[in-house]
Amino acid sequence: MARILETRDLYGGYGKMVIINGVSIYVDRGEVVALVGPNGSGKSTLLKTIYGVAKVFKGHVVFDNKDVTYVPPEAKTALGMGFVPQTDNVFPDLTVEENLEMGGYLLRDERKLREAMEVVYNIFPQLRDLRHVLAGALSGGQRKMVAVGRALMTMPKLLLMDEPTAGLAPKTALELLDKLMDIKRETNASILIVEQHARRALEISDRGYVLVSGRIAAEGSGRDILSRPDLQELFLGKHG
């Protein structure tokens, strides 16, 4: 099977509130898949449900041919998944370096940890200078770098990213996406990415899904979705 991740008729949400209503998506090995949709459509909730941070009501999540629906988040990370949440995605009371160390908590080996940290510092040179600063004291953009860097520490086979470029300067955002693509190519990782800039996301992605009110409203290659006139109306127009 070429599939690294698949959800089957997944229902998820918070407490008693069902937000995700029967979503079936998949990500192939080495693929970049974009998840787009209007605000509040449940993109973040879908990622959280997949990762086991939000509640699963029904359905299945399959990762690497293994049913991981009810596997807790820490074990998912050990299996080779990674997640950059949209909010609360750093440890504010830890320094930048400690944030990265926690990202590599499962590496155990000190040498591997240092290596991974070097990789991250090379992607975000700014972080090297900030490494003894508390993450809570960083700017929004710097924090985003820490958040992404933390998730990269374990070099996950599949990375779920919730708006990793939000709040970054356009140039930095594009650079980050470029670098992510480089890493992806080097490590043959797969990426499921939620992006505000739907056009940008779909352009770099192999495929895309459009989520509306917790359901998949459209899917296809990035080009297909971008060229569908009805979806342009729905939300893409905003970002031009």
Partner 1 sequence: MVVNAAVVLYGTIGSLLDGLLLGSLYGLMALGLTLIFRVTKIANFAYAEYITYAGYAAFAVSSMLAGGVTAFIAGLVAAMAVGAVASLFSDELAFKPLWHRGADSLTLLVASMGVGFVMRYSLLGAAVFANWPLQVQPNVANPVLATIGGLAYVSGAHVAAVVAAIVTAVGMHILFTKTRTGKAMRATASNPVLARISGINIYYIRRLTWLLAGAIGGLAGFLYSYYNPLNPESGWQMLLWIFAAAIMGGFTFYGALLSGIILGLAEAVMGFYMSTFLHISTAYSPVIALIALVLVLLFRPEGVIRLETHMLRRRV
Ligand X SMILES: Nc1ncnc2c1ncn2[C@@H]1O[C@H](COP(=O)(O)OP(=O)(O)OP(=O)(O)O)[C@@H](O)[C@H]1O
- Which residues make up the interface to ligand X (CB under 6 A)? 14, 17, 19, 37, 39-45, 86
Nearer of residues 17 and 137 to ligand X, judged by Cβ: 17
Please count the helices (runs of H) and the strands (runs of E) in the chain: 10, 11
- Whether the Cβ atoms of residue 59 and residue 7 lie closer than 8 Å to each other: yes
Nearer of residues 11 and 105 to ligand X, judged by Cβ: 11
What does 40 interact with, of Mg ion, ligand X, partner 1, none (CB < 5 to 8 A by kind)? Answer: ligand X
Cβ contacts of 218 within 8 Å, gap of 6 or more: 209, 210, 225, 228, 231
Q: Is 130 helix (H, G, I), strand (E, B) or coil?
A: coil
Q: Site for partner 1 (CB under 8 A): which residue of 26, 63, 83, 124?
A: 83
> Minimum CB separation from partner 1 for residue 99, in Å?
8
Q: Site for partner 1 (CB under 8 A): which residue of 1, 106, 169, 181?
A: 106
Q: How far apart are CA 232 and CA 226, in angstroms?
A: 7
Short-list 224, 222, 230, CA closest to 204: 222
Short-list 195, 147, 240, CA closest to 43: 195
Short-list 237, 146, 137, CA closest to 197: 237
What does 49 interact with, of ligand X, Mg ion, partner 1, none (CB < 5 to 8 A by kind)? Answer: none
51 touches partner 1 by CB under 8 A: yes
Judging by beta carbons within 10 Å of its beta carbon (0-12, 13-18, 19+), is residue 233 exposed, middle or buried? exposed
What secondary structure letter does DSSP report for 175?
H
What does 154 interact with, of partner 1, Mg ion, ligand X, none (CB < 5 to 8 A by kind)? Answer: partner 1
Choose the stretch contacting partner 1; rule: CB under 8 A; options: 29-37, 70-78, 203-211, 212-220.
70-78
Task: Give, for 222, the enclosing helix (H) or strand (E).
Answer: helix 222-227
44 touches Mg ion by CB under 5 A: yes
Total interface residues for partner 1 by CB under 8 A? 25
Q: Site for partner 1 (CB under 8 A): which residue of 62, 71, 94, 174?
A: 94
What does 73 interact with, of partner 1, Mg ion, ligand X, none (CB < 5 to 8 A by kind)? Answer: partner 1
Cβ contacts of 28 within 8 Å, gap of 6 or more: 2, 3, 4, 190, 206
> Minimum CB separation from Mg ion for residue 47, in Å?
8
Q: How far apart are CA 164 and CA 177, in angstroms?
A: 9
What does 89 interact with, of ligand X, partner 1, Mg ion, none (CB < 5 to 8 A by kind)? Answer: partner 1
181 touches partner 1 by CB under 8 A: no
Judged by the rule CB under 5 A, the positions of this chain that interact with Mg ion are 43-44, 86
Judged by the rule CB under 8 A, the positions of this chain that interact with partner 1 are 51, 53, 72-74, 77-78, 83, 85, 88-94, 98, 101-103, 105-106, 108, 150, 154
